[in-house]
Amino acid sequence: MNVFQAIIIAIVEGLTEFLPISSTGHMIIVSALLGIGKDDFTKLFEVVIQLGAILAVVVFYWRKFFVFDKNRLNFYLKLAVAVIPALILGFLFSKKIDALLESPLTVGITLLVGGIILLFVDNWFKEPTIITEEKIDIFTALRIGFYQCLALIPGTSRSAASIVGGMQQKLSRSVAAEFSFFLAVPTMAAATGYKLLKGKELLMAHPDNLKLLLIGNIVAFVVALLAIKFFIGAVKKYGFKMWGYYRIIVGIIIIAAILMGYNLEV
């Protein structure tokens, strides 16, 4: 991986991490198109640059994270409870998840299926009763956390799974989207920390890789800031149907390319 390739993948991560279109799925496909081998560093890079996206959420919603009042402890508690299912299942099935990360066909199918769901989700959940984050209780947060586990399948989208889960739990569109952003912080921090711990020898042996990670995180941070602001406005105004159409188109293209014999394996 060179600097140009690192920047391209980081842009894709920043653009797609908080949109319901699967950042992992897009990075798998872009890596294939760039001709990057799926070596240990590429796998590490695609996870660790999520740190930049995490920081974008923290900066964008800094009052939620750093202005301490009587609701703040409850806010952190809800995030801690909601992240538990993904931590447990992610640890138990890490090898199977890594194997799926090398399958563009899995990405194509899950993008397509998820896109069809997004076409109808606005009509399924028309009468939300939770219109502020403070109204989310611990058990609701936990149930949303179980929905998030669907994103362990590449192409599903952590954002889409947790947003749909939130709307099923009677959250409004914007509150479901924002809670998905908040939940990304502990989820992605845990995944990043675990990956760094496993890959520390790789980084120590190749110092240039640290430079690529730094560049990738900076780019992902800047792009994610813009994407978050855009997505919240788009969700309030248009809902999720537009993202459904996008997923369906991309999913069909990927599946068709594979059936036609194009090698998207990386």
pLDDT at 98: 65
Take residue 238 and report the two structure tokens written for it. 């248009």
Asked if the structure places residue 266 within a domain, the reply is: no
Side chain identity, residue 229:
K
Q: In angstroms, rounded to a whole number, what is the distance separating the alpha carbons of residues 213 and 217?
A: 6
Asked if the structure places residue 55 within a domain, the reply is: yes
| Residue (of 14, 18, 53) closest to 30 by Cα position | 14
Asked if the structure places residue 158 within a domain, the reply is: yes
The answer to whether 175 touches 166, Cβ cutoff 8 Å, is yes
- pLDDT, tens only, 77-112: 999 999 999 888 877 876 776 666 667 788 888 899
CB atoms under 10 Å from CB of 125, counted, come to 18
Asked if the structure places residue 190 within a domain, the reply is: yes
pLDDT at 37: 63
Asked if the structure places residue 264 within a domain, the reply is: no
The answer to whether 44 touches 212, Cβ cutoff 8 Å, is no
Asked if the structure places residue 154 within a domain, the reply is: yes
- pLDDT, tens only, 173-213: 888 988 998 998 888 888 888 777 777 777 777 778 888 88
How many domains, in total, are found in the chain? 1
Helices and strands (H and E) in the chain: how many? 13, 0
Range of the domain at 103: 3-259
Q: In angstroms, rounded to a whole number, what is the distance separating the alpha carbons of residues 263 and 37?
A: 13
What 8-state DSSP symbol labels residue 101? T
Asked if the structure places residue 109 within a domain, the reply is: yes
- pLDDT, tens only, 110-126: 899 999 999 998 888 88
The answer to whether 130 touches 173, Cβ cutoff 8 Å, is no
Q: In angstroms, rounded to a whole number, what is the distance separating the alpha carbons of residues 52 and 188?
A: 10
List all residues 6 or more positions away from 203 whose beta carbon is below 8 Å from its beta carbon: 44, 196, 209, 210, 213
Alpha-carbon 126 to chain mean position: 25
Q: How confident is the model at residue 215 (pLDDT cuts 50, 70, 90)?
A: very high
Percent of the chain at pLDDT exceeding 70:
95
Q: How confident is the model at residue 47 (pLDDT cuts 50, 70, 90)?
A: confident
Asked if the structure places residue 265 within a domain, the reply is: no
| Residue (of 172, 140, 153) closest to 24 by Cα position | 153
Between these two residues, 228 and 143, which has the higher pLDDT value?
Answer: 143
